[in-house]
Amino acid sequence: MSQQCCEVQQNGNVMILACSGGSNVGQLSNQAAVELTKEGFGKMFCLTGIGGHLSGFVQSAKDVPAMIAIDGCSVGCAKAILEHAEIPLKAYLVITDLGIEKNKNFDLDRETIEKVKNAVKSACKDLPRGVGSKSVCCG
Amino acid sequence: MEIKVLGPGCKRCQQTEHIVQEVVSELGISAKIDHVTDPIEISNYGVFGTPAVVVDGEVKSVGKIPSKEEVKSWLQGKN
């Protein structure tokens, strides 16, 4: 059991918080978070739990060494939720800053998803990768 | 007071439980300490990692072994 726990933590030491909003860029944030979790880059976590001020979610985001928030647009809902819960930003990305226009087209194309995923990875480059797994892992 | 240590029973979780027990003993507090190992029950607390410590339903730390001073501050804040 403890081995299983450690494997999970080591594979997902970057907490990924996506705004998952109701536009193409919101859903791009969600899709990128899902795929980066599946690929083992990080682990998607519930921004809504933080927004609800549930202590497990808030404390997790405060204590995790490596975390990125992804907002679809400059309205910055994810950033605002973290500020409201007094959680410091560690890495941050706004998808419209990548030159992707906000609209209501939910047919996301592969090229754009990959562009967002690469931008997320780039935004995380200064995060303490590896430190997170050691700190969070049961070992 | 009810204190729960969340974790699958690994070394770091056991260390966390030991620290909590020590602080409770030192402060002379009446507290029920549980070690929650069931992954489903742990997931209900919404924690990103273990070990985690919950005091009277509020998650106080996640993914690290808390210091004795941290635990003292949580428990004394409840007195």
Q: How many CB pairs (< 8 A) connect A and B?
A: 81
Residues of B forming the active site: 10, 13
Residues with pLDDT less than 70, chain B = 78-79
CA A115 to chain centre: 15
Chain B contact probe: residue of A1, A3, A5 with most B CBs at under 10 A: A5
Contact A67, A40 (CB under 8 A): no
Q: Give the range among A31-40, A97-106, A113-122, A127-136 with minimum mean pLDDT.
A: A127-136
- Give the nearest partner residue to A59 out of B8, B57, B60, using CB atoms: B60
Partners of A1 on chain B (C-beta within 8 Å) are: 8-10, 37, 39
Examine the pLDDT at A115 and tell me if it is beyond 70: yes
Q: What is the pLDDT of residue A130?
A: 61
- Set of chain A residues whose Cβ sits within 8 Å of the Cβ of B37: 1
Q: Count up the domains in chain B and report the number.
A: 1
Cα A91 to Cα A78: distance, rounded to the nearest angstrom: 12
Cβ B62–A56 below 8 Å, yes or no? yes
DSSP state of B16: H
The length of chain B is: 79
Residue in A1, A6, A60 closest to B47 by CB: A60
Number of domains in chain A: 1
Residues from chain A contacting residue B11 (CB–CB below 8 Å): 2, 138-139
Q: How far apart are CA A60 and CA B50, in angstroms?
A: 10
User: Would you state the pLDDT for residue A131?
Assistant: 45
Helices (H), B28-78: 39-43, 68-76
DSSP string, A8-76: HHHHT-EEEEE---SSHHHHHHHHHHHHHHHTTS-EE--HHHHHTT-HHHHHHHHH-SEEEEEESSTT-
User: What pLDDT does A8 receive?
Assistant: 41
Contact A127, A91 (CB under 8 A): yes
Smallest Cβ distance to B9: which of A1, A45, A54? A1
Could you tell me the CATH number of the domain that includes residue B46?
3.40.30.10
Residues from B contacting A (CB-CB < 8 Å) are 7-13, 37, 39, 45-52, 54, 57-64
Q: From edge to edge, which strands make up the β-sheet containing A14-18?
A: A43-44, A14-18, A66-71, A91-94
Distance CA A21, CA B43 (A): 25
| DSSP secondary structure code for residue B29 in this structure | -
pLDDT at A85: 98
State which residues form the domain around A79. 19-132
Residue-wise pLDDT for A34-89, tens only, equals 999 999 999 999 999 999 999 999 999 999 999 999 999 999 999 999 999 999 99
Task: State which residues form the domain around B26.
Answer: 2-76
Torsion of CA B69, B73, B74, B79, to 10 degrees: 140
Prior bond of A65 cis (ω within 30°): no
Whole-number average pLDDT of chain A: 89
Mean pLDDT for the stretch of residues A5-32: 82
Instruction: Provide the pLDDT for residue B49.
Output: 94
pLDDT at A12 (0 to 100): 54
Evaluate whether residue A42 is within a structural domain.
Answer: yes
